[in-house]
């Protein structure tokens, strides 16, 4: 296996895996510590272990990441990639620094690059400052993120409280100078925050770091990686059951996709959050009954946030209830529904766990960082599933995604 990766959330894992497959890698995502027969991974160029560690306590995130790294090395991974969010989601007490420290220690390596840039999704780094769609991170909507509000934009300032290692910034001029490899070798041991505003910059960084055993970043850096072999090519299965979209995401991109689905005439139903809190089983039953009344060819969209004011700020109780209801709904309908789009990172984690999925096989890409995966749910039913980061995907994704399935 050429590359083993650890991602700090489930949508991040499919983001990296699909970016790798666009480069010709054969790739799969393994869910957390689910036992997997290594024969299922044989011949793959890359395996991404999906954790739900982004906002976990540091000790837990490090322990889970170390266990994932050990599994990947045991499966024969030659190099490692630590995948975090392209908006560097973390706090001063956060996990990116400690997980990188642990990964370097496990590999006996002394340096790696820090590259959250992903220009195809509007994330760029210049002069060490991270921007989102042309706005500095601290001015972007990430400023208001409920768990990891990003109020600074300089990556070195965000990372410094999380590690004792030296952080060096490498400017765009060096990335484009043809002497990046030398600059990385000459820098002090530790972390190298490297500027990138275009895909060619990411390709230059990947080329200049081909001797590093550890890479780190969002998924964008993977566009510069090349598989050593043609890898294993699995045909993506065909699916013909019902379709379903569930959205627990409150992000602007998902809200736009919900509004577009309404305009396109898809049946929509909003989760009754008060009922989800009071009697989750009844809410699941009501939503499942609604789906079953619809034409089998319909694309029902079950969502919980149509506009920002729909979010109930009650210390997480409503968020948890919505996750429970949406994930139970997908599990309840899994006998009839075999093509599912899930919007939202946390929501995706809840759905994948409720379905008892252990491995996601990566299929067609829908947008940068968004793809179909094939998975077997507990009980043996195979389904196609999209785990969509809240902020990713075109506005018409809920209408057009199905056409990309074989
Ligand atoms: N109406 C609501 N009130 C409160 N929390 C909600 C509501 N709807 C969804 N949530 C929660 O908001 C969180 C959204 O996070 P996530 O699924 O990661 O989406 P994103 O990727 O857009 O951040 C989930 O925990 C979800 O259950
Ligand atoms: O790198 C990214 O931006 C994504 O892969 C990602 O991690 C997004 O997280 P969620 O918005 O929580 O899905």
Q: 299 and 195, same structural domain?
A: no
Q: 323 and 279, same structural domain?
A: yes
Q: 279 and 215, same structural domain?
A: no
Per-residue pLDDT, 288: 98
Q: 320 and 203, same structural domain?
A: no
The b/e string for 269-306 (b: 16+ C-beta within 10 A; e otherwise) is: eebbbebbbeebeebbebbbeebeeeeeeebbbbbbbe
Q: 108 and 57, same structural domain?
A: yes
Contact at 8 Å (CB) between 50 and 358? no
Q: Does any domain span residue 261?
A: yes
What distance in Å separates the CA atoms of residue 317 and residue 312, rounded to the nearest whole number? 9
Q: 183 and 87, same structural domain?
A: yes
pLDDT mean over 299-317 = 92
Q: With 80 as the cut, is the pLDDT of residue 3 above it?
A: yes
The mean pLDDT value of the chain amounts to 96
What distance in Å separates the CA atoms of residue 270 and residue 264, rounded to the nearest whole number? 17
Contact at 8 Å (CB) between 298 and 308? no
Question: What CATH number does the domain containing 72 carry?
Answer: 3.40.50.10840
Q: With 70 as the cut, is the pLDDT of residue 301 above it?
A: yes
Residue with token string 């995502």: 29
257 lines ligand 1 (CB under 6 A): no
Q: Does any domain span residue 314?
A: yes
Q: With 90 as the cut, is the pLDDT of residue 143 above it?
A: no
Residue 396: how many CA atoms within 13 Å on its side-chain side?
A: 7
Q: With 70 as the cut, is the pLDDT of residue 231 above it?
A: no
389 lines ligand 1 (CB under 6 A): yes
State the distance between the two ends of the chain, measured CA to CA, in whole angstroms: 27
What is the 121 CA–ligand 2 centroid distance (Å)? 11
**Which residues make beta-bridge pairs with 214?**
80
The two structure tokens encoding residue 187: 């820098």
86 lines ligand 2 (CB under 6 A): yes
> Which residue, by CA, sits nearest to atom 8 of ligand 2?
389
Q: Does any domain span residue 102?
A: yes
Q: With 90 as the cut, is the pLDDT of residue 230 above it?
A: no
What distance in Å separates the CA atoms of residue 249 and residue 236, rounded to the nearest whole number? 27
Q: Does any domain span residue 160?
A: yes
Q: Does any domain span residue 230?
A: no
Q: With 80 as the cut, is the pLDDT of residue 233 above it?
A: no
**CA gyration radius for the chain?**
21
pLDDT category at 141 given cuts 50, 70, 90 is confident
Q: 219 and 260, same structural domain?
A: no
> Which residue, by CA, sits nearest to atom 27 of ligand 1?
319
What distance in Å separates the CA atoms of residue 323 and residue 283, rounded to the nearest whole number? 12
Q: With 80 as the cut, is the pLDDT of residue 232 above it?
A: no
Q: How many domains does the chain have?
A: 2
Q: 212 and 338, same structural domain?
A: no
Per-residue pLDDT, 142: 86
- pLDDT tens readout for residues 346-405: 999 999 999 999 999 999 999 999 999 999 999 899 999 999 999 999 999 999 999 999
The two structure tokens encoding residue 300: 């029902």
What distance in Å separates the CA atoms of residue 174 and residue 180, rounded to the nearest whole number? 6
pLDDT mean over 312-324 = 92
Q: Does any domain span residue 237?
A: no
Per-residue pLDDT, 147: 80
Contact at 8 Å (CB) between 87 and 140? yes
Per-residue pLDDT, 347: 95
Residue with token string 């049946």: 267
Q: In the sheet that 111-114 helps form, which strands lie side by side, from edge to edge? A: 111-114, 190-194, 166-170
Per-residue pLDDT, 21: 95
Q: What is the dihedral of CA 389, 390, 391, 392, to 10 degrees?
A: 40
Q: Which value does ipTM take for this structure?
A: 0.98
Q: Does any domain span residue 299?
A: yes
- pTM of the model as a whole: 0.96
131 lines ligand 1 (CB under 6 A): no
What distance in Å separates the CA atoms of residue 234 and residue 98, rounded to the nearest whole number? 36
Q: Tell which one of 11, 18, 84, 94 to mutate to probe ligand 2, the residue whose CB is within 8 A of the most ligand atoms.
A: 11
Contact at 8 Å (CB) between 46 and 397? no
Per-residue pLDDT, 88: 96
Lowest mean pLDDT among 89-103, 146-160, 227-241, 312-326: 227-241
What is the 85 CA–ligand 1 centroid distance (Å)? 17
Q: Does any domain span residue 236?
A: no
Q: 76 and 16, same structural domain?
A: yes
What distance in Å separates the CA atoms of residue 226 and residue 131, rounded to the nearest whole number? 27
65 lines ligand 1 (CB under 6 A): no
167 lines ligand 1 (CB under 6 A): no
Question: What CATH number does the domain containing 328 carry?
Answer: 3.40.980.20
- Contacting residues for 178 by C-beta, under 8 A, at least 6 apart: none
pLDDT category at 316 given cuts 50, 70, 90 is confident
Residue 393 backbone class (left: φ over 0; alpha: ψ -120 to 50; beta: rest): left
168 lines ligand 2 (CB under 6 A): no
Q: With 70 as the cut, is the pLDDT of residue 325 above it?
A: yes
Q: 196 and 61, same structural domain?
A: yes
- pLDDT tens readout for residues 172-224: 999 999 999 999 999 999 999 999 999 999 999 999 999 999 999 999 999 99
Per-residue pLDDT, 148: 86
Q: Which domain holds residue 283?
A: 242-404
Contact at 8 Å (CB) between 48 and 30? yes
Q: 343 and 206, same structural domain?
A: no
What distance in Å separates the CA atoms of residue 201 and residue 50, rounded to the nearest whole number? 27
The share of the chain scoring above pLDDT 90, in percent, equals 91
Q: 95 and 182, same structural domain?
A: yes
């Amino acid at each position: 296996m050429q590359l083993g990766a650890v991602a700090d959330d489930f949508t991040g894992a499919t983001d990296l895996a699909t970016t790798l497959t666009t480069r010709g890698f054969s790739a799969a995502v393994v869910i957390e510590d689910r036992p997997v027969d290594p024969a299922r991974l044989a011949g793959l160029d890359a395996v991404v272990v999906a954790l739900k560690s982004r906002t976990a306590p540091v000790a837990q995130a490090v322990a889970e990441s170390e266990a994932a790294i050990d599994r990947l090395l045991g499966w024969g991974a030659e190099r490692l990639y630590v995948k975090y969010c392209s908006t560097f989601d973390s706090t001063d007490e956060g996990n990116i620094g400690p997980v990188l420290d642990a990964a370097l220690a496990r590999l006996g390596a002394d340096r790696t690059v820090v590259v959250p840039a992903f220009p195809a999704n509007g994330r760029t780094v210049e002069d060490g400052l991270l921007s989102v769609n042309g706005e500095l991170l601290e001015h972007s909507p990430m400023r208001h993120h409920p768990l990891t509000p990003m109020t600074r934009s300089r990556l070195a300032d965000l990372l410094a409280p999380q590690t004792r290692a030296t952080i060096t910034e490498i400017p765009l001029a060096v990335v484009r100078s043809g002497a990046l490899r030398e600059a990385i070798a000459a820098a002090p041991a530790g972390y190298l925050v490297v500027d990138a505003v275009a895909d060619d910059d990411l390709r230059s960084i990947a080329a200049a770091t081909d001797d590093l055993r550890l890479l780190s970043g969002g998924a964008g850096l993977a566009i510069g990686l090349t598989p050593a072999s043609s890898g294993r090519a699995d045909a993506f299965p065909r699916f013909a059951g019902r379709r379903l979209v569930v959205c627990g995401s409150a992000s602007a991109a998902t809200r736009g996709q919900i509004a577009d689905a309404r305009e396109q005439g898809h049946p929509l139903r909003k989760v009754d959050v008060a009922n989800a809190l009071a009697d989750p089983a009844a809410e699941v039953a009501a939503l499942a009954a609604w789906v079953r009344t619809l034409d089998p060819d319909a694309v029902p969209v079950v969502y919980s946030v149509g506009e920002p004011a729909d979010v109930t700020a009650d210390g997480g109780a409503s968020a948890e209830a919505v996750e429970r209801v949406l994930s139970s709904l997908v599990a309840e309908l899994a006998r009839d529904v075999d093509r599912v789009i899930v919007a939202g990172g946390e929501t995706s984690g809840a759905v994948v766990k409720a379905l008892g999925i252990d491995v996601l096989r990566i299929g067609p890409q829908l947008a940068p960082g968004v793809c179909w995966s094939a998975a077997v749910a507990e009980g043996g039913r195979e389904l196609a599933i999209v785990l969509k980061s809240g902020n990713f995907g075109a506005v018409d994704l809920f209408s057009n995604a199905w056409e990309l399935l074989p």
